[in-house]
Amino acid sequence: MRKLNIANLDTPIQKLEKLSKELGKNIFMKRDDFTGIEVSGNKIRKLEYLVAYALDNEYDTIITTGACQSNHARATAAICAMMDLECHLVLRGEAGEYEGNLFLDEMLGANVNIIPSSESREDAMEELKKGLETQGKKVLLIPVGASNAIGSYGYIHCYNEIMKQEVEMGIHFDSINLAIGSGGTYAGLWYANEGADTKKKIIGYSVDQIAEVFKEDVMAIVNDLEDIKHHFDRISINDSYIGLGYGQATDEELAFYRDVAKSEGVILDPVYTGKAFKGLVTEIKNGNYDDQENILFIHTGGQQGYTKEMRERMKGILRKTASE
């Protein structure tokens, strides 16, 4: 399937030396937060395929959806600006401060539509699509997180990239670990791993839904990729680290993100990578990775997810630490 070439690939894999020593494991991080600036993070890998599909089929308008500070929405706005496509975003929730991704969405020329959290994003997108079609637009709907069969090719490609890097590094990763928030990234990696027939584990850490919900999402995407029976019992999703819920963080979680930043020079976001990486570290400490030696975590980006309220609390945590 054709893709655009916009992301800065291959993204590097870095060893986290201090955490590796502390945990007694070789902990590596694939820096998919290095894919670019306005299009940084995992979403651009999926959008390279979806927007290529849009262009190949002569769509002139894209509608997609997410939360008000959605990384996916911002990446979609950026790639639409590059490709001269009209972009409409249906963002659910309270707009809050005009900052972060919401600011970038409008700066990139997207038409932003904010709806209450109680409303259906899918219904709102369909209604918007009908209105634009009456204006003669040819409209492509891209689901939340660009998570469908076409989008998942981005992480089939990423899996093959990791296999190549394993050879270059002379290493075999026992598992690939990542945050899961809509299912497409996990589905692509899992599907490619099944095809490679390795003993590698693909482990997802949920950021907002119980594991069964995401398992159903992954199964639906994989079935759209290939109509054959898969051993879906090998899907591994941990939902123990959702915490307060999507886009929210406790002081304990914020302190963990600070500690990782100070130790490894890596900024985790509070919506996706922070929750997932804290889950990974906790599971390693609890002995649930004792059968593994080389562990890879994919940093899927999203540092813009720190709200003003979180930044204020982080400031308090930093001041308290400095005074101790």
Write out the catalytic residue numbers: 70
Q: Do 34 and 93 touch, CB atoms closer than 8 A?
A: no
The pair of structure tokens assigned to 17 is 């030396």
- Rg over CA atoms, the chain: 19
Torsion from C-alpha of 169, 175, 178, 183, nearest 10 degrees: 120
For residues 171 and 182, give the distance between their C-alpha atoms in angstroms, rounded to a whole number: 30
**How many residues are there in the chain?**
324
Rounded Cα–Cα distance for residues 5 and 23 (Å): 37
Cα separation, 156 vs 272, in Å, equals 20
* Inter-residue contact 168 to 10 (CB < 8 Å): no
Query: Which are the contacts of 2, defined by CB distance < 8 A and separation ≥ 6?
Result: 49, 52, 53, 56
Pick from 246, 158, 164, 252: nearest CA to 202: 158
Angle between helix 184-196 and helix 211-225 axes, rounded to 10 deg: 60
Pairing relationship of beta strands 111-115 and 86-92 according to DSSP bridges:
parallel
Contact 162, 196 (CB under 8 A): no
E strands, 104-224, in order: 111-115, 139-142, 175-180, 201-206
Q: Work out the angle at residue 33's Cα, subtended by the Cα atoms of residues 314 and 278, and round it to the nearest 5 degrees.
A: 50
